[in-house]
Chains A and B, each alone.
Chain A
């Protein structure tokens, strides 16, 4: 498996790059933030995602998508990272689509995949309940009764929750919180009685929400994947999301790094360019090395996912751990090397730091994934 892009994938990257650079400059994110936009993303941009085929990148052609893989989704995510573009692509086109592809029955797929591919509907996974990503600790109750389930509990950090047409709720139907089995995934529409969605305005000006479910009735037909055994579906969705988030982290880290290196070549102090100082050169060179090493881990993980390889989850864990760490370093060095300007809202570098912080927490931070890696490798 080659760890560089194919010619077709390069073409996709180029068109995603041109499209996003034109349609979603960083000023667009500022406008959404400063205008306190109700949606938190641009509907025209999202229609553009559909026209380009991006929103259907993972959806099979039979359901109106492009039928491509995680490498291609990652290519788009990387460019999203460069532009800090706000859109439901990660939550809906990658995570929710992956959940439906793994766990969905034909009726569920037929209902939702074409609408997600066309961007007509937005779906999102609601998994976290506490400040850290701990899927096994899921406590939101699903009481089995009659011909369905009754859900009770609260979800937090639900991407695009307040604009979603479909919530995929991870619930505990049996077993104690902390065990990996006993989870059931449910498709819940936000207008169902007992569902309350509260938008949380985030530091990075991207979308997230808190979702509270009070005695929400779910029919048996709305259970996604097997009852009590939702772990495989959840893992597929999370692995897809982690790999995609790793790509976005890599893209934003690349962009922050490029901007920082440019700044080192422009800013003068002590009568010379600060990029002449070896103290800064060595830190920049080290960061370059970290970026290149992470790049290999990220594309490897996506190739493994696309191949359905046995080691795919471990590869994703390495990629997300590395990407989180590398991006954190890139934005820290970026702000520091921009000096006082790096602390101003006027300069964009701080926006990269904010987005990196959010993506680091999303679907497990570096510590979470290193712990996973140790468990997988038997220590």
Chain B
């Protein structure tokens, strides 16, 4: 049987399995925050269907299709995973689990973790049992992340960690944290270690930060004499920057590709329905129509570039800094989308406490999107990376 034949067979099997196991409710578009499932010790499920969908996907290893089976994954090839994603999209299946463990920590552990660390953490990520957060940025270390100061003091078999992190996504809801700490103050990049610890450890405290959207997805996180077992150091001590960089490229791809699984409705017809059409059936506001068309051409091409990057990666031809390009472009594109959404909804979306505007959902997302080009490395940092690593411009 050729590769194409076996993929075609696999596609049929996947489709049949999804049809049999994905509850109808889980094939509706995601419209509310509760529709997203983040798992964790304190997981709350919006419905029985949501719980069941996670359970059967996790059972099959398909929350993390390409991870090895021994660590809770599906053991699929990248081609098979692509087929699974395509079939899920065509049936409208929601992602069973959203997780920083899947998108960020998992790939780093697979590459840098010991067998014991993988066995301890990966299956629990795959099943959605432990919810992770990321301890990277500090008040004094944003774009210049390697200047971080959270200190880990060597006490033989463990470290004592003191310091503060900021922009910890969902830090108040996370069970464990992967965290960059300084283990050598004499060196900058080479004095950083990548450690894992439980957020219920004594001395860990979080405080949500209210954002311009009125929401608080980020926290400040404080460490006061937190004990961290040395077995939870990923990679070598003082070599955490390599792990951090590797993980950041995954984060950039993830932010760049945001919304790929639950595509928002196309803007053009939405605008035409809300704002009216002219005699030829075109959106009545010609300036807005032109802007939307330009956005849609760029967005279509961007999605193709994501796909092409996957093809390049498979052929081992992808430049490692391509993820910076995708992160930059994807973030700017998403900001454009929400500027257009805000324009399309006009004053209707501005009253942000009433039912008619769904509590200002559009306006809050518009405000939220402004963070896309700041988090995970600002757009300016991505451009620096492209200039230095791809274009090899001097002094960059």
Residues of A within 8 A of B (CB): 2-4, 261, 264-265, 272-273, 275-276, 278, 281-282, 284-286, 288-289, 292-297, 299-300, 317-319, 321-322, 367, 369-371, 373-375, 377-379
Contacts and interface: CB of A to CB of B under 8 A. Distances in A.
A377 B293 CA distance: 9
9 contacts: A272-B395, A282-B384, A284-B387, A284-B393, A292-B325, A294-B301, A322-B297, A378-B268, A378-B281
Nearest to B322: A292
Contacts, number: 131
Interface string B168-186: 0000000000000000000
B383 A4 contact: no
Given A296-B304, A322-B298, A285 B391 contact: yes
Interface stretch (B102-110, B115-123, B247-255, B305-313): B305-313
B267 to A, nearest CB: 8
Nearest to B303: A296
Nearest to B300: A318
Interface residues of B, number: 45
A264 B281 CA distance: 48
A54 to B, nearest CB: 25
Interface stretch (B35-43, B147-155, B203-211, B282-290): B282-290
Given A276-B394, A374-B268, A374-B283, A281 B383 contact: yes
Contact of A379 (B282, B298, B380, B384): B282
Given A4-B308, A4-B312, A293-B301, 15 more contacts: A3-B304, A265-B393, A265-B394, A273-B395, A278-B387, A285-B328, A285-B383, A289-B329, A293-B305, A294-B301, A295-B305, A318-B297, A370-B297, A371-B290, A377-B296
Interface in B371-396: 380, 382-384, 386-387, 390-396
A374 B387 contact: no
A295 B392 CA distance: 21
Contact of A285 (B308, B315, B386): B386
A82 B166 CA distance: 48
Q: Considering the complex of A and B, which 10 residue pairs feature the smallest CB-CB distances, nearest first? A: A379-B268, A285-B386, A276-B395, A281-B387, A3-B308, A296-B304, A297-B301, A370-B293, A296-B305, A285-B383
A284 B298 CA distance: 18
Contacts of B307: 3, 296
B344 to A, nearest CB: 11
Contacts of A299: 308
Contacts of B308: 3-4, 295-296, 299-300
- Scoring A264, A319, A374 by chain B CB atoms within 10 A of each residue's CB, the highest score goes to A374
A379 B272 contact: yes
Nearest to B395: A276
A375 B282 contact: yes
Contacts of A379: 268-269, 271-272, 277, 282-283, 289, 292
A286 B383 contact: yes
A265 B382 CA distance: 20
B266 interface: yes
A106 to B, nearest CB: 34
B383 A292 contact: no
Contacts of B311: 2-4
Nearest to A320: B297
A278 B385 CA distance: 12
B1 interface: no
A129 B251 CA distance: 52
Contacts of B322: 292
B396 A374 contact: no
Contacts of B387: 278, 281-282, 284-285
B348 interface: no
B236 interface: no
A258 B234 CA distance: 40
B336 to A, nearest CB: 13
A284 B391 contact: yes
Contacts of A374: 268, 282-283, 289, 292-293, 296
- Scoring A3, A4, A284, A292 by chain B CB atoms within 10 A of each residue's CB, the highest score goes to A292
Nearest to A290: B329
A288 B391 CA distance: 8
Nearest to B267: A379
